[in-house]
């Protein structure tokens, strides 16, 4: 099985730059860095201009500072004028940003590109915001689990295939995707055994780790996720969610929903007025988890049941569009499960055959079945 992360070709190597690569744990950020090194070296770049360090080895900002100091010394010794510095899992050392800011302020990396990866906890803690004016051409990149398109290619659908000609294979791949998801470990297990294996346990342990680092209640997060599973895919108000989760108030539900969203584990879809194409935040919201594997992990962690396949299919469609578009929903007797305002598109997700189309305001709502949705997702 070959996997080439699309982000490799998107990350700019124009110096100076401090890039941050976010993403849930276990989505392949370390693999991406190593493949980037392989690509550059095979393309003729001098290996001595590339520095890789896994920050899990450093306890705090002092130890990380010692490593950065050694990189500076090696650059001088080898006459490196412009380097690529890869700091993997940079959030592990306590107060990691202090070391990085010090060396940036000293001008030691003014001709270099730094790519720092970490869990989205550093985004949730707003640590990235401590680098104003120090990032040059740097950007924030988000790495998601494999998209359905990449998953289908792993399953044997050739890149650039005509979706109509491969509709049967794509539908079969989508059914498997709903069981396995796009986390690399789950994809590997699916390729060999048809199921994600123990990949869900890794998602659970990673979530517990992030909650502990952020000093947030594991019990509240667990109750909230259980309530999300038990109400999916129906719209739910904060008050109803708090009651379902047995939380003291809707404010706690709101806080933990936003926390889990900042950890890229779920997405809240708000009601969108199809005539004005704006969100109404007072109405109930739909809540979808990031990936089918996250549903399995949440169910195992909370003791709740995994939602039915149609709900997983709706979540998969919504989350795929949400990677690059503003997404919501609409309902008023007739429900549009996924609304993409900038495309003027609405989708009613159906597992079985039930064709249909309806215009609501500025939205053209289409009813699509599994086979049609597989073709649509493959083209995203």
- Domain limits, the chain: 6-142, 148-379
- Averages of pLDDT over runs of 10 residues in the chain (380 residues) are 81 96 88 96 97 95 97 97 96 92 96 90 72 94 94 92 97 96 92 87 91 92 97 96 95 95 93 96 97 97 96 98 97 90 96 83 94 96
**CB within 8 Å of 129: residues ≥ 6 apart:** none
Q: Which pTM was predicted?
A: 0.91
Instruction: Return the pLDDT at 6.
Output: 82
Sign, Cα dihedral of 290, 236, 283, 377: positive
As a CATH number, domain 6-142 is: 3.40.50.300
């Amino acid at each position: 099985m070959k996997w080439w992360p699309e982000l490799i070709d998107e990350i700019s190597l124009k110096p100076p730059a401090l890039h941050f690569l976010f993403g849930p744990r276990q989505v392949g950020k370390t693999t991406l860095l190593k493949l980037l090194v392989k690509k550059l070296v095979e393309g003729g770049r001098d290996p001595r201009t590339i520095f890789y360090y896994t920050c899990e080895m450093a306890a705090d900002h002092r130890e990380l500072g010692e490593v950065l100091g050694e990189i500076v010394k090696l650059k001088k010794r080898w006459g490196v004028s412009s380097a690529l510095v890869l700091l993997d899992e940079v959030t592990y050392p306590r107060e990691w940003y202090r070391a990085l800011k010090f060396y940036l302020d000293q001008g030691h990396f003014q001709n270099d590109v730094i790519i720092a990866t970490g869990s989205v906890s550093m985004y949730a803690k707003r640590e990235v915001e401590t680098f104003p004016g120090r990032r040059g051409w740097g950007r924030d990149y988000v790495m998601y689990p494999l998209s359905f398109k990449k998953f289908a290619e792993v399953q044997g659908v050739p890149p650039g295939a005509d979706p109509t000609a491969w509709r049967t294979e794509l539908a079969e791949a989508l059914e498997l995707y709903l069981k396995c998801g796009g986390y690399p470990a789950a994809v590997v297990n699916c390729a060999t055994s048809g199921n994600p294996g123990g990949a869900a346990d890794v998602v659970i342990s990673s979530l517990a780790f992030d909650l502990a680092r952020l000093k947030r209640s594991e019990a509240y997060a667990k109750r909230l996720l259980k309530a999300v599973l038990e109400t999916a895919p129906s719209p739910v108000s904060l008050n109803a969610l708090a009651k379902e989760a047995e939380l003291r108030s809707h404010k706690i539900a709101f806080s933990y929903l936003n926390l889990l969203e900042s950890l890229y584990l779920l997405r809240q879809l708000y009601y969108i007025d199809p005539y004005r194409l704006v969100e109404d935040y007072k109405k109930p919201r739909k809540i979808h988890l990031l990936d089918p594997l996250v549903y399995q992990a949440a169910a195992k962690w909370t003791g709740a049941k995994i939602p039915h396949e149609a709900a997983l299919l709706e979540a998969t469609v919504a989350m795929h569009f949400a990677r690059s578009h503003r997404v919501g929903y609409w309902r008023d007797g007739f429900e549009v499960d996924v609304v993409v305002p900038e495309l003027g598109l609405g989708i009613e997700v159906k597992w079985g055959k039930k064709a249909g189309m309806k215009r609501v305001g500025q939205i053209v709502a289409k009813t699509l079945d599994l086979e049609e949705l597989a073709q649509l997702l493959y083209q995203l």
